[in-house]
Amino acid sequence: MTKILLIGEINETLQSINECLMPYFQIQMCSENAKNVKDMIRILRPALLIFNVQDADGDVMDVFEALDIKYDHISMLVIGTKDMEQKLQLALERFRNVSMIYRPLKSKDVLNTCFSILHMEMPVQKETPKGAEVKKSILIIDDNALVLRNLKSILEKEYKVMLANSGEKGLEFIKTKNPDVILLDYDMPGMNGLEVFEKIREDESINKIPVVFLTSVAERELILKVLRNRPDGYILKPPSREKIVEVINEALNKE
């Protein structure tokens, strides 16, 4: 399967692009960090890089500078605004195959552009047969990008996986995406897991969604503190695949 590396802040835009492309390509996501991007390119060997550029700031420019001539054969799609185009022009002019599309995005436009850049024929979309099993959706809320990527790789074959890297963004996703289950990091900067959990339980529109806490501390007192909030489960990090699937299934099947 053709590989694509998505680069940018893990937000709703990147999530939408990921969901749109996943049925057709092998997708991996990476933050706007020059070293991380170069490492992921060496590991993944993608055919296409997609940059979701929020601001033409130092981090983005560092990434473009880091991609020296040995990477200029890789096709690139930049997602941004018309105002950014001029700022990015000098950084991008040395790459052989660069395209740009502007926000606000339509999923169909992103998909068509990717197939066009890669010179691939767009497959005929088939309707989902009646009675076919639909994947349950899982929202993972964690401030650690590595944890998000690892959990996504564990779960994406069986579930539709969405990611949020802060409690605040997680709450936004919950209200707009209505996931079937939430994996929630207990200890986060800003709005921590307990505060997010309380907000969920206070809101009648989302308070029935099962919540499973993630914690990296195995101390008895902390575990008891987690359990006193009566979540639908808890998982110690780093979890095994068997354990995390077991806890998720238990949470989904609770009456």
**107 and 53 in one domain?**
yes
pLDDT of 180 higher than 60: yes
Domain final residue pick, 82, 117, 152? 117
Query: What pLDDT, on the 0 to 100 scale, is given for residue 70?
Result: 67
CB 20 within 8 A of CB 161: no
pLDDT of 129 higher than 70: no
Domain assignment present for residue 130? The answer is: no
**113 and 7 in one domain?**
yes
Sheet holding 26-30, edge to edge: 26-30, 3-7, 48-52, 75-80, 98-102
217: confidence class by pLDDT, cuts 50, 70, 90: low
90: confidence class by pLDDT, cuts 50, 70, 90: low
Domain final residue pick, 56, 83, 117? 117
Query: What pLDDT, on the 0 to 100 scale, is given for residue 140?
Result: 94
Q: 84 vs 41, which has greater pLDDT? A: 41
If one counts the domains in the chain, the total is 2
CB neighbours (10 Å) of residue 48?
21
Tokens of 20: 């749109």
**185 and 81 in one domain?**
no
Which range is most confident: 55-69, 155-169, 210-224? 155-169
| Main-chain dihedrals φ then ψ at residue 150, nearest 5 degrees | -65, -45
Q: 74 vs 104, which has greater pLDDT? A: 74
Q: What is the pLDDT of residues 189-198, one digit of tens each?
A: 889 888 999 8
**209 and 179 in one domain?**
yes
| Main-chain dihedrals φ then ψ at residue 67, nearest 5 degrees | -85, 80
**222 and 193 in one domain?**
yes
CB neighbours (10 Å) of residue 235?
18
**230 and 144 in one domain?**
yes
Q: What is the pLDDT of residues 42-84, one digit of tens each?
A: 888 899 998 888 765 666 677 777 776 667 678 888 887 777 7
pLDDT of 133 higher than 80: no
**108 and 48 in one domain?**
yes
Domain assignment present for residue 132? The answer is: no
Per-residue pLDDT, averaged over 136-160, amounts to 90
What is the span of the domain harbouring residue 143?
137-252
Q: Which DSSP symbol is given to 254?
A: -
Domain harbouring 54, CATH code: 3.40.50.2300
Domain assignment present for residue 245? The answer is: yes
